[in-house]
Amino acid sequence: MKSDPIAPSSEGTTLFVTAEQAGTRLDKALALLAGEISRARLQQVIREGGVRLNGAVASDPSRKVAEGDALALIMPEAKPAAPIGQDIPLDVVYEDEYLIVIDKPAGLVVHPAGGHEDGTLVNALIAHCGDSLSGIGGVRRPGIVHRLDKDTSGLLVVAKTDKAHQGLAKQFADHGRTGPLERAYLALVWGAPRRMHGTIDAPLERSNRNREKMAVVSEGRGREAITHISLLERYPALLKGHEEQEALASLIQCQLETGRTHQIRVHLSHIGHPLLGDQLYGSGFATKASRLSEGAREALAALGRQALHAAVLGFAHPITQEELHFESEPPADFAKLQAELAGL
């Protein structure tokens, strides 16, 4: 049974582990006891020394607790987000007091990082949402529960309250296996999968050769990564005599079952069908551009990025539990390349 939400305090609030929480991790027990504070936020507080277990500081979130243990929780005041608010236009698809769904343009970095200290989606959100984002999800990425690469366009949801952040984070951690979470992408790739539908189940970890890249590793290593793909169109599908041949490029839909860094880009490259325009994972296919029509070559050059668009996003509203579903048409540069490949 959860207690009332805990306000920031320098005195601390003492909670007692019940039989229900006995044997669980410290962070999980606190999440069950502490009301509307997200588990990620509690992990941060634990590591910063804000929790005492039976009078002693407990800084390990994974430490097991026992029935009757006394947990003293000192919640600090929410820190203002380090990034500043900036008046950057946002394409808002949906918004209420708990969350906001954005159609992110290609070229917009999601959160501040090395080389991108401002001009990010987080900067835009701070200006748009104001103080409601303070303290949510950490000072560097308030409200961010999932991300899109800088050069990937499409749908992204951001939490505006800690309770919404907790509910959304739980759905993304579950990967939609027991709930309505859905993430689907449109991708223009070199060649075409032989089957109309398939699953890429290949674990990923940071590449030892290039730390900017992720790499597929053998089973038992890395993190689980699963992508479901469906072939939508082949370019071209027919040649003289209407004999089907290996396609030069194709349009596929990728549905994520997990959400690892660069997952779709790595998985498609792994099966021999990297994204058009992907300089990091598809550089070996750059010469294929010479086989495209003049219009398609120009459209690919104008795209200047990987041809990947987050077209579908669905989830349960973390507060009302209403199932929400959003779709986004590809941006003009993606649509132009698709049309040129199709000969339209």
**CB-based burial label for 249 (10 Å; 0-12, 13-18, 19+):** buried
115 in the same domain as 24: no
Residue of 149, 162, 278, 333 marked catalytic: 149
β 197-201/226-235 pair status: antiparallel
- Give φ, ψ of 290 to 5 degrees: -65, -20
DSSP bridge pairs for 214: 206
Q: pLDDT of 133-192, one tens digit each?
A: 755 666 656 788 898 999 999 999 999 988 899 899 999 988 888 889 999 999 999 999
5 in a structural domain: no
Question: Is 86 part of any domain?
Answer: no
Same domain, 168 and 186: no
Task: Based on the fold, state whether residues 57 and 25 are members of the same structural domain.
Answer: yes
Cα dihedral 149, 150, 151, 157 in deg (nearest 10): 60
149 is catalytic: yes
Give yes or no: residues 142 and 254 share one domain. no
Domain end point (choices 116, 140, 174): 174
Q: Which of 174, 201, 220 is the last residue of a domain?
A: 174
Q: Is 2 within the bounds of a domain?
A: no
Q: pLDDT by residue (tens digit) across 236-274?
A: 854 444 444 678 999 999 999 998 999 999 999 999 999
In a domain, residue 1? The reply is no
Q: How many domains does the chain have?
A: 3
205: domain CATH number is: 3.30.2350.10
Of 34, 32, 61, nearest in space to 46 by CA: 61
Distance between CA atoms of residues 164 and 246, nearest Å: 47
Pairing relation of β-strands 308-316 and 153-159? Answer: parallel
Please compute the mean of the pLDDT values over residues 41-46 and round it to a whole number.
Answer: 85
Question: In this structure, are 210 and 165 located in the same domain?
Answer: no
pTM: 0.74
For residue 217, the enclosing domain spans: 182-314+327-342
In a domain, 320, yes or no: no
